[in-house]
């Protein structure tokens, strides 16, 4: 089972300078939040594990193309790499 100490240790492993997902929540929002938030996340994750389901709100992902070489051919599809912007709650749950 998951507890607030596990959530806090997992959150410390997430990079704080990345973009937000479709939920517009940055890792910084949770990292600097009140410690009671960790208890809510641990309760949510335990319910998800018990029932084997994840809320639909945690699932949406945005895939954005990022140019590899800005001096190269920007019309070439091979000059791009996909970046997935996932909800921070999903990243913690992983």
DSSP state of 56: G
Q: For the chain, how far is it from start to end, CA to CA, in angstroms?
A: 14
Q: Are 42 and 4 in contact (CB under 8 A)?
A: yes
Q: Locate tokens 């190269």: which residue?
A: 72
List the domain boundaries for the chain.
Answer: 4-93
Residue-wise pLDDT for 13-23, tens only, equals 888 888 888 88
Rg of the chain over all Cα atoms, to the nearest angstrom = 16
Give the span between the Cα atoms of 85 and 55, in whole angstroms. 17
What's the pLDDT tens digit per position in 55-67? 888 888 889 899 9
* Reported pTM: 0.69
| Cα angle 40-43-46, degrees, rounded to a multiple of 5 | 150
């Amino acid at each position: 089972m998951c507890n607030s100490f596990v959530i806090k240790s997992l959150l410390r492993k997430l990079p704080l300078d990345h973009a937000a997902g479709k939920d517009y929540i940055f890792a910084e929002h949770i990292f600097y939040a009140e410690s009671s938030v960790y208890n809510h996340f641990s309760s949510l994750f335990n319910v998800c594990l018990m029932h084997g389901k994840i809320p639909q709100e945690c699932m949406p992902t945005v895939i954005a193309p990022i140019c590899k070489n800005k001096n190269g051919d920007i019309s070439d599809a091979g000059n791009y790499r996909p970046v997935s912007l996932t909800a921070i709650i999903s990243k913690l749950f992983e």
